[in-house]
């Protein structure tokens, strides 16, 4: 072909493609229409982030910070669907318009929200059970690293308290009281995966939490719902805005110690020390003789006491802590129907002591793909890495135990401190020649305890699910979900010779390492049917088949006397006879079937009924299967004609429910006879190892079962400016499993059996008020109130005799404070009366409850309430223009605990350790020390001549731990939209947040919230001040 011919052909193609392009462009311009507009609320306030979608297509956009939008629709008759959280969805016809402004109406109240109820969801208006929903905004508002701390006090009926105040120690959760003898933790479900706790989650990855409190709601989880259920839904790929949306949050905070208990000064401790010696010696001692006796072998101590020396041990040990949070979230939706949600988080929480911290790294992926109108698939996965440094368990305790007349430093021959040179036992301080400088307590130097102790916990945890949903008909859908969880935790510890552990091992170092592996999976298959008949009968039915499997594997190795400082990295280097090696494996499975019916007549009369059948592998043959039915009724009174046009009543609904849940609350193989290794003497001399049965097999071991009756009222008044709920419940847990002791003649020590019953009765109140609602000012407050009464109804299948030894007291709460009642101190004027009881002035006096003229075990009783009498909270949020201010307050009233702090530092029988600044008995004496008749604590010194024999019962250490705590105060400012437009930012907020700034209480130990925690791991309270930034692009 010639060049000329090619040129002609090229021209023809050019003309053809030019003409085709013209037709296509003409067609496009003829078919599309550009619509602009603005979305506001009823007050005229612009609404950013409103979703605007063209009906019947995947075409959509969202409003900018000023509420403005622009969208190209396919034709002039298109319909726009406008939706925004908290507002009613509207459909608006384009109808040839080019500009549309829409005012969204706020949802009538929070009752129109959707509530997750397990294997599905319902509108809150149709809810018949007791379920509380916690939104993502509430979870992230306090800016904490723990999801449970974030929701503390937000829901009535849910008691959440810190385990110890130490970073990484977690929180204890109880829903509607303790209902089991072996633990009452709720069931946590994270994206379909059962987990033991949710500390591994980043709060910003959570979309919502739904707390199932009554049995009718939790019955769908059958054997695992007896203690309540917390369903955690993480952010998924569903319902995300089109395009790519980026959010970045960052904050930095500092921690400082707060509420430090007031301890004795050096001068006060020296006086206490002298009085303690006075109790053990004749009162003919002169002041000089007494001082010399008290300073026995401790000339430096005497010198420091005379010169006003004071060393602040807690200041030496404590340091400022730190919190840091960085979180990146990316969401988007493609034209193909694939939407995604990506989250990356790094959180750090450093405690008040060196090597006391938790670092959390999180990755979250949510995918959702609507293949077509019938098929939808998706996946959710969360991967977390937790690095926890637990430091020393005993350093804080040691710091408080050491007298202010002692210091951490060694001394020279003249007694001068060699600052920077640590001495291992400050209370056993020696001069360079080995002679005593101080010879008192053997408490370890806490600075050396910290430096020579190491405890680490490294955890990888993954939870996730994959689902496939097929909806062949509008009223019928099938969904299969496979969810799995994997956890690996390695806990290692090492202690050098100069630690408390080293003292116990006579100067040897030691180390241990523990591995824990868990794999569990849940496979759920469900069919949902939903249909409306004759516009008045609404039915929905759930059919469920579920299979759960769980495997735990553990291994443990301990050794000591290692020749080198290798920690837990070379365990084999220790002396072979010092090894302690163990491993374990256990598996349990659960097979389940369930059916649930929801029915509504005329959208006024509601019925929910469900039954679940569970088969558990941990129970014996013949007792593996159990059914858990429930039924609930609801009546929307506000829908009745006599309230339809009420200007006062906006919403009013009565609820009543009855349901059964259960618990197979034992470890696998418990119903069987287990073997335990024992050492025996053969022929009276030779030592041999063998195996013997540890417990008697119980083939009758069966389910714990809980029956709960719940009555509730949901209300809304004055156009829902006032909303809330009231619930009253009666829960009885029966056939509780416990290790029952057996008579010696049986040849067994104990067996697990169904032996008891416990009741919980209470009331819960939720009240939300919208105090001010205008364009520039909005103020909302929420109050909660909870009261629960816990009672042991029977034990060992009878209701007459208590088990005092195990603190199972009929008619009382579980684990009560049972002891003598402290009635002060016998005074000198009461010497004759004290003598009748075989006691003397200065000694601790129990109450003679039965007035029989003697003290014995019959005078013991229940002391106070081991659980709070009632709890409450207040949350307030005020928005003025671009400023927002919110705060939350928690209160717990009427709780009494055995204070481990006072057990250590109000113990007058110990004279070598530091003490609380307190009044104590000083008798009239000739030593020159003034008597003290105004006293609350007994005479210092040995029990026999000081506090008295009953002081060893610990009855003097019970304390009321009622408190009111300001949980957080936050002040934020959202930048003006005009400035943000230039930076291409849709939203930017700067804030200051303070956690736990104030606690009001009479308790004079650490924070009253964890007053009963083991003292070794207990920590002082802290105040955290944070500066944060949140940016949306």
- Nearby residues of 86 by Cβ (< 8 Å), 6 or more positions away: 106, 107
Structure-token match 């000591």, residue found: 560
Q: Which of 359, 328, 342 is nearest to 249 (CA)?
A: 328
From 417, 444, 471, give the residue that closes a domain: 444
The model's confidence at residue 384, banded by pLDDT at 50, 70 and 90, is very high
Which tokens hold the place of 754?
A: 């169904």
Q: Which of 929, 930, 948, 928 is nearest to 938 (CA)?
A: 948
Q: Return the percentage of the chain with pLDDT > 90, whole number.
A: 50
Please check whether residue 345 is in contact with residue 440, taking contact to mean a CB–CB distance below 8 angstroms: no
Q: What is the DSSP string of 948-1000?
A: -GGGGGTGGGEEE--EEEEEEEEEEEEPPHHHHHHTT-SEEEEEEEEEEEEEE
- Altogether, the residues listed in the chain come to a count of 1033
pLDDT at 666 over 70: yes
pLDDT at 11 over 80: no
88: in domain: yes
Q: Which of 232, 230, 233, 212 is nearest to 706 (CA)?
A: 212
- Nearby residues of 249 by Cβ (< 8 Å), 6 or more positions away: 204, 325, 326, 327, 329, 1028, 1029, 1030, 1031
From 398, 417, 444, give the residue that closes a domain: 444
Q: What is the pLDDT of residue 1012?
A: 84
Distance CA 591, CA 525 (A): 12
**Mean pLDDT score of the chain, rounded to an integer?**
87
Which tokens hold the place of 900?
A: 């481990």
3-state secondary structure of 785: strand
98: in domain: yes
* 931 or 781, which is more confident: 781
pTM, 2 dp: 0.85
Structure-token match 């633990």, residue found: 183
Burial 297-321 (b: 16+ CB within 10 A, else e): ebbbbbebbeeebebebbeebbbeb
- Nearby residues of 300 by Cβ (< 8 Å), 6 or more positions away: 411, 415, 429, 437, 438
DSSP H helices in 837-899: none
Which tokens hold the place of 2?
A: 């010639």
Backbone angles phi, psi at 504, to 5 degrees: -60, -35
Please report how the helices 299-306 and 266-279 are oriented relative to each other, as an axis angle in degrees rounded to 10.
Answer: 130
Q: Could you tell me the residue range of the domain that residue 64 belongs to?
A: 17-103
Element (H, E) at 90: strand 90-93
The region of weakest confidence among 225-229, 325-329, 886-890 is 225-229
pLDDT at 1009 over 80: yes
Q: What is the pLDDT of residue 19?
A: 43
Please check whether residue 958 is in contact with residue 822, taking contact to mean a CB–CB distance below 8 angstroms: yes
- Nearby residues of 857 by Cβ (< 8 Å), 6 or more positions away: none
46: in domain: yes
SS3 content of the chain, % helix, strand, coil (to 5): 15, 50, 35
The pLDDT tens digits of the residues spanning 423-453 come to 999 999 999 999 989 988 899 999 999 999 9
Distance CA 261, CA 166 (A): 17
- Nearby residues of 14 by Cβ (< 8 Å), 6 or more positions away: none
DSSP secondary structure code for residue 186 in this structure: P
The model's confidence at residue 105, banded by pLDDT at 50, 70 and 90, is confident
Backbone angles phi, psi at 668, to 5 degrees: -55, 145
Give the side-chain half-sphere CA count within 13 A for 249. Answer: 20
Please check whether residue 731 is in contact with residue 707, taking contact to mean a CB–CB distance below 8 angstroms: yes
CATH of the domain at 44: 2.60.40.1120
Q: What is the pLDDT of residue 373?
A: 84
Structure-token match 């109406």, residue found: 105
Q: What is the pLDDT of residue 249?
A: 94
Label residue 639 exposed, middle or buried (CB < 10 Å: 0-12, 13-18, 19+). middle
Q: What is the mean pLDDT of residues 576-583?
A: 79
DSSP H helices in 790-895: 831-836
The model's confidence at residue 573, banded by pLDDT at 50, 70 and 90, is confident
Distance CA 592, CA 293 (A): 74
The pLDDT tens digits of the residues spanning 854-906 come to 898 889 999 999 999 999 999 999 999 989 999 999 999 999 999 999 998 99
Please check whether residue 783 is in contact with residue 804, taking contact to mean a CB–CB distance below 8 angstroms: no
Number of domains composing the chain: 2
606: in domain: no
Q: What is the mean pLDDT of residues 603-628?
A: 91
Please check whether residue 694 is in contact with residue 674, taking contact to mean a CB–CB distance below 8 angstroms: yes
3-state secondary structure of 316: helix
Distance CA 284, CA 227 (A): 63
Q: What is the mean pLDDT of residues 214-220?
A: 87
Q: What is the pLDDT of residue 751?
A: 82
- Nearby residues of 757 by Cβ (< 8 Å), 6 or more positions away: 732, 733, 734, 735, 736, 792, 793, 794
The region of weakest confidence among 385-394, 588-597, 990-999 is 385-394
Q: Which of 90, 98, 92, 67 is nearest to 78 (CA)?
A: 92
3-state secondary structure of 102: strand
pLDDT at 941 over 90: no
Q: What is the DSSP string of 671-683?
A: TS--EEEEEEEET
pLDDT at 107 over 70: no
Q: What is the pLDDT of residue 286?
A: 67
Beta strands in 534-579 (DSSP E): 537-560
Which tokens hold the place of 404?
A: 């202010």
pLDDT at 543 over 50: yes
735: in domain: no
* 968 or 696, which is more confident: 968
Backbone angles phi, psi at 767, to 5 degrees: -140, 120
74: in domain: yes
Residues 313, 317, 320: CA angle, nearest 5 degrees: 130
Q: Which residues pair with residue 677 across a beta bridge?
A: 691
**Cα 441–chain centre separation:** 38
Which tokens hold the place of 655?
A: 């609820």
418: in domain: yes
The region of weakest confidence among 216-220, 335-339, 567-571, 1008-1012 is 567-571
Which tokens hold the place of 997?
A: 């700034």
Structure-token match 């619930």, residue found: 727
pLDDT at 26 over 60: no
Distance CA 451, CA 496 (A): 9
Largest Cα separation within the chain, whole Å, is 137
3-state per-residue secondary structure call for 368-387: EEECCCCEEEEEEEEEEEEE
96: in domain: yes
Q: What is the pLDDT of residue 576?
A: 64
The model's confidence at residue 16, banded by pLDDT at 50, 70 and 90, is very low
Please check whether residue 920 is in contact with residue 908, taking contact to mean a CB–CB distance below 8 angstroms: yes
The model's confidence at residue 491, banded by pLDDT at 50, 70 and 90, is very high
Q: What is the pLDDT of residue 263?
A: 94
From 49, 69, 103, give the residue that closes a domain: 103
Q: How many CB atoms lie within 10 A of CB 194?
A: 19
Q: How many CB atoms lie within 10 A of CB 534?
A: 5
pLDDT at 800 over 50: yes
Element (H, E) at 448: helix 446-452
Choose from 237-246, 704-713, 849-858 the range with maximum mean pLDDT. Answer: 704-713
Which tokens hold the place of 755?
A: 């032996």
Q: What is the pLDDT of residue 10?
A: 43
Distance CA 81, CA 100 (A): 12
Instruction: Give the CA-trace dihedral at 962, 321, 137, 229, to 10 degrees.
Output: -60
């Amino acid at each position: 072909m010639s060049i000329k011919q090619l040129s002609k052909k090229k021209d023809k193609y050019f003309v053809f493609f030019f003409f085709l392009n013209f037709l296509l462009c003409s067609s496009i311009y003829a078919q599309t229409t550009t619509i602009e507009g603005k979305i506001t609320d009823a007050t005229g306030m612009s609404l950013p982030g409103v979703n605007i979608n063209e009906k019947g297509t995947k075409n959509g956009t969202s409003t900018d910070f000023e509420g403005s939008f622009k969208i190209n629709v396919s034709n002039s008759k298109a319909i726009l669907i406008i939706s925004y959280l908290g507002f009613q969805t509207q459909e608006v016809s384009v109808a040839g318009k080019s500009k549309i402004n829409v005012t969204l109406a706020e949802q009538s109240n929070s009752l129109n929200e959707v509530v997750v109820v397990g294997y599905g969801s319902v509108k809150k208006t149709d809810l018949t059970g007791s379920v509380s929903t916690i939104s993502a905004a509430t979870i992230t508002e306090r800016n904490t690293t723990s999801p449970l701390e974030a929701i503390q006090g937000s829901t009535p009926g849910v008691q959440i308290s810190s385990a110890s105040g130490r970073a990484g120690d977690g929180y204890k959760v109880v829903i509607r009281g303790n209902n089991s003898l072996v633990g009452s933790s709720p069931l946590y479900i994270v994206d379909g995966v059962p987990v033991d706790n949710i500390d591994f989650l980043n709060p910003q990855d959570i979309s919502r939490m739904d707390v199932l409190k009554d049995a009718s709601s939790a019955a769908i989880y059958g054997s695992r719902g007896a203690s309540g259920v917390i369903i955690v839904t993480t952010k998924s790929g569903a319902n995300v805005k089109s395009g790519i949306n980026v959010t970045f949050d960052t904050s930095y905070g500092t921690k400082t110690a707060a509420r430090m208990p007031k301890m004795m000064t050096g001068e006060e401790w020296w006086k206490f020390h002298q009085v303690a010696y006075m109790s053990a010696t004749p009162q003919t001692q002169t002041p000089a003789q007494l001082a010399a006796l008290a300073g026995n072998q401790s000339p430096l101590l005497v010198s420091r006491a005379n010169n006003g020396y004071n060393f602040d041990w807690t200041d030496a040990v404590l340091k400022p802590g730190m919190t840091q949070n960085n979180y990146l979230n990316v969401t988007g939706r493609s034209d193909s129907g694939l939407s995604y949600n990506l989250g990356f988080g790094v959180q750090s929480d450093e405690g008040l002591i060196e090597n006391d911290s938790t670092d959390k790294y999180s990755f979250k992926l949510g995918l959702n793909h609507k293949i077509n109108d019938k098929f939808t698939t998706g996946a959710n996965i969360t991967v977390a890495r937790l690095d926890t440094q637990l430091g020393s368990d005993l350093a804080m305790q040691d710091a408080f135990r050491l007298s202010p007349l002692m210091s951490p430093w060694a001394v020279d021959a003249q007694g001068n401190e060699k600052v920077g040179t640590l001495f291992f036992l400050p209370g056993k301080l020696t001069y360079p020649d080995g002679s005593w400088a101080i010879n008192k307590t053997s408490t370890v130097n806490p600075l050396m305890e910290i430096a020579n102790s190491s405890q680490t916990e490294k955890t990888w945890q993954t939870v996730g699910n994959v689902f496939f949903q097929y909806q062949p008909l509008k009223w019928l859908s099938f969904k299969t979900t496979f969810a799995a969880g994997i956890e690996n935790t390695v806990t290692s510890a090492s202690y050098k010779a100069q630690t408390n552990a080293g003292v116990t091992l006579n100067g040897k170092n030691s180390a241990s390492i523990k591995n824990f592996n868990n794999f569990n999976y849940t496979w759920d298959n469900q069919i949902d049917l939903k249909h409306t008949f004759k516009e008045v009968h609404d039915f929905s039915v759930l059919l469920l088949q579920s299979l759960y499997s769980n495997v735990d594997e553990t291994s443990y190795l301990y050794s000591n006397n290692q020749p080198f400082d290798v920690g837990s990295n070379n365990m084999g280097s220790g002396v072979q006879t010092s090894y302690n090696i163990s491993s374990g494996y256990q598996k349990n499975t659960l097979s389940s079937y369930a059916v649930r019916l929801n029915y509504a007549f005329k959208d006024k009369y509601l019925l929910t009924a469900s039954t679940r059948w569970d088969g558990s592998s941990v129970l014996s043959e013949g007792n593996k299967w159990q059914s858990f039915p429930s039924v609930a009724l609801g009546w929307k009174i506000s829908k009745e004609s006599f309230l339809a046009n009420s200007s006062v009543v906006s919403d009013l609904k009565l609820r009543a429910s009855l349901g059964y849940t259960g618990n197979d609350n034992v470890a696998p193989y418990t119903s069987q006879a287990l073997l335990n290794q024992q050492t025996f003497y053969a022929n009276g001399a030779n030592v041999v190892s063998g195996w013997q049965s540890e417990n008697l097999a119980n083939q009758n071991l069966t389910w714990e079962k809980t029956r709960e009756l719940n009555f509730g009222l949901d209300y809304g008044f004055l156009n829902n400016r006032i909303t809330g709920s009231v619930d009253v419940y009666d829960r009885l847990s029966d056939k509780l499993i416990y290790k029952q002791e057996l008579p010696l003649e049986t040849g067994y020590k104990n067996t697990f059996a169904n032996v008891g019953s416990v009741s919980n009765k209470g009331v819960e109140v939720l009240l939300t008020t919208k105090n001010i609602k205008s364009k520039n000012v909005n103020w909302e407050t929420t109050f909660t109130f909870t009261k629960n009464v816990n009672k042991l109804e029977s034990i060992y299948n009878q209701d007459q005799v208590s088990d005092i030894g195990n603190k199972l007291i009929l008619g009382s709460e579980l684990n009560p404070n049972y002891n003598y009642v402290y009635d002060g101190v016998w005074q000198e004027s009461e010497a004759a009366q004290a003598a009748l009881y075989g006691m003397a002035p200065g000694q601790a006096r129990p109450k003679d409850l039965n007035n029989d003229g003697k003290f014995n075990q019959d005078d013991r009783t229940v002391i106070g309430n081991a659980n709070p009498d009632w709890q409450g909270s207040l949350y307030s949020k005020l928005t003025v223009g671009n400023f927002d201010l919110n705060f939350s307050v928690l209160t717990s009233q009427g709780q009494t605990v055995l204070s481990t702090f006072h057990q250590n530092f109000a113990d007058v029988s110990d004279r070598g350790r530091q003490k609380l600044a307190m009044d104590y008995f000083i008798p009239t004496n000739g030593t020159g020390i003034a008597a003290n008749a105004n006293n609350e604590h007994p005479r210092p010194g040995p029990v026999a001549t000081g506090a008295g024999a009953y002081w060893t019962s610990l009855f003097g250490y019970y304390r009321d731990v009622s408190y009111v705590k300001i949980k957080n105060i936050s002040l934020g400012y959202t930048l003006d939209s005009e400035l943000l437009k230039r930076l291409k930012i849709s939203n930017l907020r700067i804030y200051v947040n303070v956690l736990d700034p104030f606690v009001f209480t009479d308790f004079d130990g650490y924070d009253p919230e964890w007053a009963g925690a083991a003292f070794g791991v207990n920590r002082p309270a802290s105040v955290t001040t944070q500066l944060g930034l949140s940016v949306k692009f």
